[in-house]
Amino acid sequence: MLDFTSNNAGDALSPRTTEATLADDRALLDAYSNAVIDVTERVGPAVVRVETGPKVRTPRERGGLGSGIVISPDGFVLTNSHVVGSSKEIRLRDTEGFVTDAHVLGVDPDTDLALLRADGARDLPYASLGDSKQLRRGQLVVAIGNPLGFESTVTAGVVSALGRSIRSVSGRTIEDVIQTDAALNPGNSGGPLVSSNSQVIGINTAIINGAQGICFAVASNTAQFVLSEIIRHGYVRRAFIGVAGQTAPIPRRHAVLAGVENKMGALLAQIEPDSPASKAGLLPGDVVIKLDGIDINGVDDLIRALDRDRIDRTLAMDVLRLGRLRAIDIHPIERKPAR
């Protein structure tokens, strides 16, 4: 007869081994819990409740509710533009119940972001914006906000995908959006999506009704760009070339053939008729890898490169077309501010 018994089998099921495995599991769970707790304690006090509309609400004027994140001690608050809307009365409530009025410094419906300033509030707890380009799929993230009016709610999940595109309230596409399975509900809008090192790497903006675990946040790098433009100009002044696109990887053989080092680029999906891009000869399927001497490693880079300093200038653009490098001159114009 064949003997399939093994001395190792008893060791694998021994109480000592089982206890060690359970101890390791507890250690992992404790590490996960401690990471979420640390993020909550460090960033939670900087999350505020954003209330819009009259203080005394009527059936005709009910107001709105969302979340926001304080990004400076003197009261700058990032939230969603759809949370603010056209409201002239805005109030902020912190975790300790303190309420202060606020006013809008600027909104950018194209990225669904708005910048508020708390009136008469100083030395507020605040959080730092991180670098969303460093994110990886599967990375732990924490969402903090006021879903359905339940204040200071914390949910945890992972980065499900990067480089998503969603439709903004203005009808334009928001590029380089973070997808996460951290649970979001109405009221979370404008709240922060935070990494395990307590940096804000996204502003929660949207959910898909009827879907579970599919939520979106505007990347922090996009938020930093919008923030700087609003502080300087009161709105986001942008150059316009008339394209729609997405971040896409560049096949290694194409990069070698063209002699470029880019691993990612901005893939053009649509060209608007009679636009600067159309007049320059750009075609759907072209991959932009450089604009005005700046390396373009995705749509986010292209959007930031098309700032006010490049309006009404002829710029050199490098694109990959069918794996071959082409040099194109393009003349961006100023885009009208989004209403």
Which residues form the catalytic set? 82, 112, 189
- Total Cβ atoms within 10 A of residue 177: 25
216 close to 205: Cβ distance less than 8 angstroms: yes
Please, which residues have CB within 8 angstroms of residue 245's CB and are 6 or more apart in sequence? 175, 266, 267, 268, 269, 270, 288, 299, 302
Please, which residues have CB within 8 angstroms of residue 283's CB and are 6 or more apart in sequence? 268, 271, 321
- Whole-number Å distance between alpha carbons of 239 and 334: 5
Pinpoint the alpha helices (H) of the chain.
Answer: 7-12, 15-43, 81-84, 220-233, 252-258, 276-280, 299-305
- Whole-number Å distance between alpha carbons of 196 and 223: 19
Strands (E), 27-121: 47-52, 64-70, 76-79, 90-93, 99-108, 113-118
- Whole-number Å distance between alpha carbons of 314 and 16: 73
Amino acid letter, residue 268 = L
Q: How many helices (H) and strands (E) does the chain have?
A: 7, 20
Q: What residues form DSSP beta bridges with 101? A: 91
The first and second tokens of residue 180, run together, are 């996460």
Among 227, 243, 246, CA closest to 235: 227
